[in-house]
Amino acid sequence: MIENETRVNILLVDDEPANLLALEAVLESLGQNLVKTSSGVEALRHLIDKDFAVILLDVMMPGMDGFETAELIRQRDRNRHTPIIFLTAIGKTETAMFQGYALGAIDYMVKPFDPGVLRSKVSVLVDIYLKTQEVIRLNDELRLENENRKRTEEELRRSEEMLKNLNANLEARVAKRTAAVEESSRQLTRINEELEQFVYASSHDLQEPLRTMTSFLELIERRNRDKLDEDSKRFIEFAVKSAEHMRSLINGLLEYSRVTVKEKKFKNVDCNLVVKRVLEQLYASLQESGGKVECLPLPEVYGEPLLLGQLFQNLIGNALKFRNELPPRVEVGAEKREREWLFWVKDNGIGIEPRFFQQIFRLFQRLHSRAEYPGAGLGLAVCRKTVELHGGKIWCESELEKGSSFYFTIPIYDPFSRLADEESNLETVPESKKSEKRV
């Protein structure tokens, strides 16, 4: 059974009802839609709104015969190539056959005809029609696909043109921004150099009057010791201590400026050797306080040796300084994490209240008077800046009278990422300078 979607129309035209019934009986088994008409005029009306796979057309009909009907059918573009099989009972004369073929007939059959032959011919024509319709459908799909492809290609061309313009604009903006960044970098380098010179010059200019003032005060005290009353001696002592404190502040600022301004030269640093040198420098403090420092095995890190030395010296020095009645005990250690080294300096000193954990890392922040614990309040600020310059972070954990633990991290050195960064930096350097950077 043919599905409705594939059923085609077959037009049967004959003025004799009996002949129409006979044709229907012969072709019914094909399972197609058989449209029966009894005149040429009626047949033309069906052709207005329907397509037919084949037309079986009787020659001898009253009014408009088959040939006239065929001629009118061929005048319509829609039916110019519709197959027509002429059926006739008047005999197969050459004149009639030539006339039929001249009108575009594909066959000329004389009644009575062999039903099997007629059915086979119609079946072949139906099959040809279906394949033709499939070709037409595929051609329509292909045409639509081509139109979509052309439209897509046009959109792609416009997108590529837009992207090209955007890239050109972006490259221009990047070049402009790069030039601005390079200029800012040059200005910043120049400013840092000037600032470093200014700091050192100011330090010298500030310390020289302090030394002169201290020297003269001490000279006055020595020469007039027997003439000065107790208040005058105390005033001189206060002035000398104030000058010493000012000198300590200036030295602290110098130390801080070395961290923030001076160019850093990073390299692989053995922290065991750094701490060993620090302990040698703190020998007097250890002897005075009776303190002991236990140094666990430490790693090699990528950093600035002098800054790392100052970092450990400040932390260990604070652990020895901020002590209670017990001899200070200090532990220095480190452990490896996924992408960084975690260092610690732990002590059994006076401890710190949690509310001061952030404050102690700021410039000139003190929790005690200078009479209790001397210093300028810059040591931990220098530690924080040093750790940040190495790409890490620093923090404190402590309780009053239970000691303090200072932790800081330093990223694990990755030579491959370092090399990639250097190559990336070389891309922004003119060709004439690249060889100098690689040497």
Dist. CA 385–CA 391, nearest whole Å: 10
**What pLDDT is stored for residue 99 in this prediction?**
80
**What pLDDT is stored for residue 436 in this prediction?**
42
**What pLDDT is stored for residue 332 in this prediction?**
96
Q: Is residue 47 part of a domain?
A: yes
Judge if 231 and 299 occupy the same domain: no
**What pLDDT is stored for residue 32 in this prediction?**
92
Judge if 201 and 240 occupy the same domain: yes
Q: Which of 80, 113, 146 is the last residue of a domain?
A: 113
We report the CATH number of the domain holding residue 212 as: 1.10.287
> Could you tell me the residue range of the domain that residue 50 belongs to?
4-113
**What pLDDT is stored for residue 194 in this prediction?**
65
**What pLDDT is stored for residue 223 in this prediction?**
79
- What's the token pair of residue 222? 């020595």
Q: Is residue 345 part of a domain?
A: yes
Dist. CA 273–CA 278, nearest whole Å: 9
What parts of the chain have a pLDDT lower than 70?
1-5, 90-93, 192-208, 210, 245-264, 364-377, 415-439
Q: Is residue 150 part of a domain?
A: no
Query: Could you read off the pLDDT of 100-121 as tens digits, one per residue?
Result: 788 878 888 888 888 999 999 9
Judge if 347 and 309 occupy the same domain: yes
**What pLDDT is stored for residue 356 in this prediction?**
83
Judge if 325 and 419 occupy the same domain: yes
Q: Which of 204, 229, 263 is the last residue of a domain?
A: 263
Q: Which of 215, 243, 263 is the last residue of a domain?
A: 263
Judge if 43 and 169 occupy the same domain: no
Q: Is residue 122 part of a domain?
A: no
**What pLDDT is stored for residue 382 in this prediction?**
87
Distance of CA 270 to the CA centre of its chain: 37
**What pLDDT is stored for residue 236 in this prediction?**
78
**What pLDDT is stored for residue 276 in this prediction?**
95
**What pLDDT is stored for residue 429 in this prediction?**
47
**What pLDDT is stored for residue 178 in this prediction?**
87
**What pLDDT is stored for residue 213 in this prediction?**
75
How many domains are there within the chain?
A: 3
We report the CATH number of the domain holding residue 46 as: 3.40.50.2300
